């Protein structure tokens, strides 16, 4: 860059217009005269270009390194879990140690039942709280506190939900049960449902709400007939995400629902107040066993669990796409 | 009426703290604060201390956070800067399809697909990661870890050999588990940097990486930091993967290959068989874990809220 025409020095006696004339004189000649274009080209001999390219390669390599284990998990699941998968696996009871065959039908049923109970508890509670948050004035102290505590609850350790349900339900009712497991799961589902339904409801255009009130609807009618139906796809996304999370949780079930080798209705009648099997706890228990059959069952159960969780997630995402299109 | 339900969330949070706190009172009376720095856990002699567990929790989480952050932010940069789309575009250009109505959309599609897949991986249950760690990671890394121990055993980090579960496999799997969280939040923060800042930096002649390091990362730093703190909260409270991989040995150690224990793993392993005497003690340990995670989570929520407030103020 050394042979570029130097800028004229501004001498003290120059007036402003004289200086501008000097500049114009240079500009009329040829503004690019003396610029060495080779200097401007991207060249690896220049440290800043080389550094830029190097960092690009480093970031690419690091991303690939991060993605390999993530996808290796899925690959191992399909490979080791898929080998064993069969219809019998999904319908039979878990085998005793050293016994061959068996399945985890009761664990699938137990997971479904506990998640269903937890959903029944959390959906009304969470959606109505979401309605409250979306309707509350922006400076409301209570709304701020509720929003903050649900954000903090999002990161609540799942094992502590189990500890809570153990203290509050298991000790009180005197035994491990599906209900205690469901309540522990519902603590983990609640914040997701509250936060997603709040954002879904506050995305409903204000004119719809105003039109409804203008036509003489009461507040409750507006909520039931206008806000909730319009926000339904967004709320359902949140519910599906919460269900997907709850289905995979192990820690809160370890000492609330415990585990069982039998069907829930094995005593002749259906009873939710007894220890209940779940897929996640089955994976944990069987992975620690020294028997090959059990370990293989754990892999197959992990594959089934991941497929269930991912399908629930994808359904949830398809709901949110509907909302965007509206 | 919704007023009542909203109050319920605050009530629930208070109830969670009170319930665990009240059940812990007998243990607190008996062992006091000494519980926090006792090193022995022996139910037969009624001696309980959780210093190794507190240390193990913080040690594994911080190490996992370190690796998770480096790789997670790198992946977020890769995804937000459009590197992948660019690479696909170049490949299409080679076969002269880059403006084809179908193939021309491929660069954006692959980017969106990868982003969605990483977000989906955050939904894989932790017990599955634990299973993978137990049967795939540990056999895979064991020879390398023992080679390191043989050659560099004098170095405190490698002072024991890896005979099975241990801190290093736990950290490895934990870092992979928190990576999608960090990547997703950091990517959101990077994408929401106003485009005019990037344009201004390019206009001043900055190279791409001068723009990233000098403009984009500092502007998005609050959002990224909030994501890191939330991931830290998740790592602290993570139970199953650690209970399966950390080895559950009541040991106070810095060695990466030694088994150790964490608070959450202690709860998961001891609660199902706990006697009436042990339960208040475990509740006390749960209270300690609750205190640590609440502090981290509240801090993270406040940082993210500030970051969001700053972004909307612009």
A244/B contact by beta carbon, under 8 A: yes
Interface of B with A in 197-226 (CB under 8 A): 207-210, 212
Q: Which chain B residue has its CA at the smallest distance from A59's CA?
A: B74
**Residue A170 confidence (pLDDT):** 85
What are the chain A neighbours of B243 within 8 Å (beta carbons)? 284
The answer to whether residues B282 and B256 touch, using CB atoms and an 8 Å cutoff, is: no
Identity of the residue in B123, B267, B297 whose CB atom sits nearest the CB atom of A163: B267
Does the pLDDT value for residue A11 go beyond 70?
Answer: no
Which tokens in the block code for residue A211? Answer: 């039109």
How far apart CA B197 and CA B190 sit, in angstroms, is 12
Cβ-Cβ contacts under 8 Å, A62 against chain B? 70-71, 74-75, 78
Q: Chain B partners of A129 at a C-beta cutoff of 8 Å? A: 2, 5-6, 8-9
**Position A15 confidence tier, pLDDT thresholds 50, 70, 90:** low
Please name the residues between 11 and 70 in chain A that touch chain B, using a CB distance below 8 Å. 48-49, 51-52, 55-56, 58-60, 62-63, 65-67, 69-70
Is residue B60 within 8 Å of residue B174, measured between CB atoms?
yes
CB B57 within 8 A of CB B313: no
DSSP letters for A61-88? HHHHHHHHHHHHHHHHIIIIIHTT--HH
Percent of chain A with pLDDT over 90: 26
Both tokens of B238, joined, read 């993570």
What ipTM did this prediction achieve? 0.86
Residue A107: partners with Cβ closer than 8 Å, 6 or more residues away: A94, A277, A278, A279, A281, A282, A301
Element (H, E) at B143: helix B138-152
Query: Is the pLDDT assigned to residue A19 strictly greater than 80?
Result: no
Burial class for B80, CB neighbours closer than 10 Å (0-12, 13-18, 19+): buried
What one-character DSSP code corresponds to residue A261? S
Least Cα separation, residue B298 to chain A (angstroms): 6
Interface of A with B in 135-154 (CB under 8 A): 135-136, 142-143, 145-146, 148-154
Alpha helices in B157-262 (DSSP H): 167-191, 195-203, 208-211, 217-237, 240-245
User: Radius of gyration over alpha carbons of chain B, in Å?
Assistant: 24
Residue whose entry in the numeric block shows the structure tokens 């249950």: B125
Q: What would the two tokens of residue B169 be?
A: 């496999």
Distance separating alpha carbons of residues B22 and B286, to the nearest angstrom: 12
Tell me whether B132 touches chain A (CB under 8 Å). Answer: yes
Distance of CA A302 to the CA centre of its chain: 19
Q: Does A168 touch chain B (CB under 8 A)?
A: yes
Q: How confident is the model at residue A41 (pLDDT cuts 50, 70, 90)?
A: low
Q: Is the pLDDT at A152 greater than 50, yes or no?
A: yes
Contact between residue A158 and residue A255 where contact means Cβ atoms under 8 Å apart: no
Q: What is the mean pLDDT of residues B193-198?
A: 91
- Measured CA to CA, the distance from residue B125 to residue B238 in angstroms comes to 11
C-beta atoms of B272 and A254 within 8 A = yes
CB contact under 8 A, B127 and A250: yes
For residue A149, the chain B residues in CB contact (below 8 A) are: 9-10, 13
* Helix axis angle, B106-121 to B167-191, nearest 10°: 130
Q: Out of B23, B74, B298, name the one closest to residue A167 (CB).
A: B23
Mean pLDDT along residues B138-166:
83
Question: What is the mean pLDDT of the segment spanning A208-220?
Answer: 89
**How many of the other CB atoms lie within 10 Å of CB of B238?**
29
Interchain CB contact of A319 with B (< 8 Å) = no
Q: How far is B268 from chain A (nearest CA, A)?
A: 7
d(CA A255, CA B219): 45
Which of A60, A250, A257, A301 to substitute to test the interface with B, most B CBs within 10 Å? A250
CA nearest neighbour of A188 among B126, B25, B145? B126
CA–CA distance, B101 with B109 (Å, rounded to integer): 13
Q: Is the pLDDT of residue B122 over 90?
A: no
Mutation target among A287, A292, A303, A307 for the B interface, most CBs of B within 10 A: A287
Can you tell me whether residue A197 is helix, strand or coil? helix
Give yes or no for a contact between A209 and A227, defined as CB atoms under 8 angstroms apart. Answer: yes
Interface subset of B 73-102, CB within 8 angstroms of A? 74-75, 77-79, 83
Specify whether the CB–CB gap between A117 and A182 falls below 8 A: yes
- Indicate yes or no: CB of A310 within 8 angstroms of CB of B77: no
Does residue A164 belong to the interface with chain B, where contact is any CB pair within 8 Å?
yes
**At residue B311, does pLDDT exceed 70?**
no
What the block records as the tokens of A165 is 């349900």
Three-state SS at B42: strand
Structure-token pair, residue B28: 């607190």
Which of B:27-66 have CB within 8 Å of A?
none
Q: Is the pLDDT at A141 greater than 70, yes or no?
A: yes
Sign of CA dihedral B305, B308, B313, B314: positive
Question: Mean pLDDT across the stretch A236-246?
Answer: 91
- Give the residue from B2, B139, B282, B296 with the most A CB atoms within 10 Å of its CB, the best one to mutate: B2
Res. B171 pLDDT band, cuts 50 70 90: very high
Is the pLDDT reported for residue A325 higher than 70?
no
Residue A258 CA: distances (Å) to CA of A180, A282, B18, B94, B273: 10, 10, 24, 59, 11
- A173 contact partners, CB below 8 Å, separation of at least 6: A179, A180, A273
Nearest C-alpha in A relative to B290: A160
Cβ–Cβ below 8 Å for B239 and A251: yes
* Residue-level pLDDT at A326: 47
The per-residue pLDDT for range A188-210, each reduced to its tens digit, is 999 999 999 999 998 888 888 88
| B26, B87, B239, best to mutate vs chain A, most A CBs in 10 Å | B239
Q: What is the pLDDT of residue A306?
A: 93
**Contact between A143 and A134 (Cβ < 8 Å):** no
**Do A149 and A240 touch, CB atoms closer than 8 A?**
no
The more confident residue out of A150 and B276 is A150
Query: For the range B47-50, what are the long-range contacts, defined as Cβ-Cβ under 8 Å and sequence gap of 24 or more?
Result: B48/B281, B50/B263, B50/B266, B50/B285, B50/B288
For B28-69, write each residue's pLDDT tens digit: 888 877 788 888 887 777 788 888 899 999 999 999 999 999
Contact B311, B192 (CB under 8 A): yes
d(CA A304, CA A311): 11
DSSP state of A250: -
Length of chain B: 314
Helix-helix angle A105-135:A178-202, to 10 degrees: 40
Indicate the helix (H) or strand (E) that contains A233.
helix A228-248
Which residue in the set B75, B129, B271 is minimally distant from A63, CB to CB? B75
**Contact yes or no for B240 and A62 at CB 8 A:** no
pTM across the whole model: 0.85
CA-CA distance, B188 to B80, in Å (whole number)? 8
pLDDT at A1: 42
Measured between alpha carbons, how far is A66 from B73 in angstroms, rounded to an integer?
A: 11
Q: Is the pLDDT of residue B156 over 50?
A: yes
Within 85-124 of A, beta carbons closer than 8 Å to B belong to none
Question: What residues have CB less than 8 Å from A182, skipping those under 6 apart?
Answer: A114, A115, A117, A118, A121
Q: Across the interface, do A309 and B283 touch by the CB < 8 Å criterion? A: no
Which stretch of DSSP H or E encloses residue B47?
A: strand B47-48
Partner-chain contact A125 B208, CB within 8 Å: no
Chain A CB contacts of B79 under 8 Å are: 63
CA B109-B113-B114 angle, 5° bins: 120
Other beta carbons within 10 Å of A28: 8
Choose from B127, B235, B301, B306 for mutation: most chain A CBs within 10 A. B127
CB atoms within 10 A of CB B139: 10
Residue A5: the pLDDT is 54
pLDDT score at A239:
93
What is the average pLDDT value for chain B, to the nearest integer?
Answer: 85
Rg of the Cα trace of chain A? 32
Q: Average pLDDT over chain A, rounded to whole?
A: 84
Chain B residue whose CA is closest to A301: B128
- Answer whether B239 sits within 8 Å of A159, measured CB to CB: yes
Determine the residue among A51, A134, A152 to mutate to test chain B binding: the one whose Cβ has the most chain B Cβ atoms within 10 Å.
A152
Asked if A59 and B77 come within 8 Å (Cβ–Cβ), the reply is: yes
DSSP letter string over B243-310? Answer: HHHSB--------TTS-B--HHHHHHHHSTT--TTHHHHHHHHHHHHHHHHHHHHHHHHHHHHHHHHH
């Amino acid at each position: 860059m050394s042979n570029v025409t130097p800028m004229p020095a501004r001498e003290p006696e120059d007036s402003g217009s004289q200086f501008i004339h000097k500049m114009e004189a240079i500009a009329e000649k040829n503004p690019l005269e003396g610029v060495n274009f080779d200097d401007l080209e991207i060249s690896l001999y220049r440290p800043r270009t080389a550094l830029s390219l190097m960092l690009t390669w480093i970031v690419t390599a690091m991303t690939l390194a991060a993605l390999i284990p993530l996808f290796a998990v899925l690959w191992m699941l399909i490979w080791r879990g898929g080998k064993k998968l069969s219809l019998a696996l999904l319908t039979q009871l878990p085998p005793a140690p050293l016994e061959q065959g068996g399945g985890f039908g009761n664990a699938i049923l137990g997971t479904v039942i506990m998640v269903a109970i937890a959903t029944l508890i959390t959906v009304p509670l969470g959606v109505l709280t979401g309605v409250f948050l979306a309707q509350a004035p922006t400076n409301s102290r209570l709304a701020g506190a509720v929003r903050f505590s649900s954000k903090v609850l999002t990161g609540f350790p799942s094992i502590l939900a189990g500890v809570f349900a153990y203290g509050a339900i298991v000790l009180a009712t005197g035994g491990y049960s599906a209900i205690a497991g469901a309540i522990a799961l519902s603590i983990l589902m609640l914040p997701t449902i509250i936060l997603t339904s709040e954002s879904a409801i506050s995305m409903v255009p204000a004119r719809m709400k105003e039109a409804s009130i203008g036509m003489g609807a009461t507040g409750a009618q507006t909520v039931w007939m206008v806000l909730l139906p319009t926000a339904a796809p967004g709320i359902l996304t949140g519910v599906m995400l919460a269900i997907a999370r709850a289905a995979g949780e192990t820690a809160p079930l370890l000492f609330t629902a415990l585990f069982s080798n039998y069907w829930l209705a094995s005593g002749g009648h259906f009873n939710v107040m007894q220890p209940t099997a779940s897929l996640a706890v089955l994976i944990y228990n069987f992975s620690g066993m020294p028997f090959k059959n059990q370990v293989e069952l754990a892999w197959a159960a992990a594959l089934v669990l991941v497929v269930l969780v991912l399908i629930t997630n994808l359904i949830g995402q398809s709901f949110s796409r509907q909302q965007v299109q509206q | 009426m919704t007023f009542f339900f909203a109050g319920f969330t605050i009530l629930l949070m208070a109830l969670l703290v009170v319930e665990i706190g009240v059940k812990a009172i007998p243990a607190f009376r008996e062992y006091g604060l000494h519980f926090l720095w006792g090193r022995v856990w022996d139910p037969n002699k009624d001696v309980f201390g959780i210093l190794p567990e507190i240390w193990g929790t913080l040690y594994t989480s911080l190490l996992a956070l370190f690796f998770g952050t480096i790789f997670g932010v790198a992946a977020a940069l890769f995804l937000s800067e459009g590197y992948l789309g660019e690479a696909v575009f170049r490949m299409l250009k080679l076969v002269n399809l880059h403006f084809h109505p179908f193939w021309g959309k491929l660069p954006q599609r692959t980017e969106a697909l990868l982003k969605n897949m990483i977000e989906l991986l955050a939904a894989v249950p932790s017990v599955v990661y634990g299973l993978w760690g137990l049967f795939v990671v540990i056999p895979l890394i064991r020879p390398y870890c023992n080679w390191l121990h043989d050659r560099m055993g004098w170095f405190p980090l490698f002072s024991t050999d890896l005979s099975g579960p241990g801190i290093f496999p736990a950290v490895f799997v934990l870092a992979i588990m928190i990576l999608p969280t960090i990547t997703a939040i950091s990517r959101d923060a990077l994408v929401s940097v106003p485009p005019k800042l990037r344009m201004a930096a390019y206009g001043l002649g900055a190279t791409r990486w001068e723009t990233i390091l000098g403009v984009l990362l500092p502007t998005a730093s609050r959002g990224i930091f909030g994501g890191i703190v939330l991931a830290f909260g998740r790592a602290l409270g993570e139970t199953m993967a650690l209970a399966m991989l950390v080895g559950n040995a009541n040991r106070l150690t810095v060695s990466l290959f030694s088994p150790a224990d964490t608070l959450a793993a202690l709860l998961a392993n001891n609660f199902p068989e706990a006697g009436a005497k042990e339960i208040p003690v475990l509740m006390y340990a749960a209270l300690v874990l609750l205190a640590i995670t609440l502090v981290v989570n509240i801090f993270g929520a406040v940082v993210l809220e500030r970051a969001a407030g700053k972004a909307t103020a612009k």
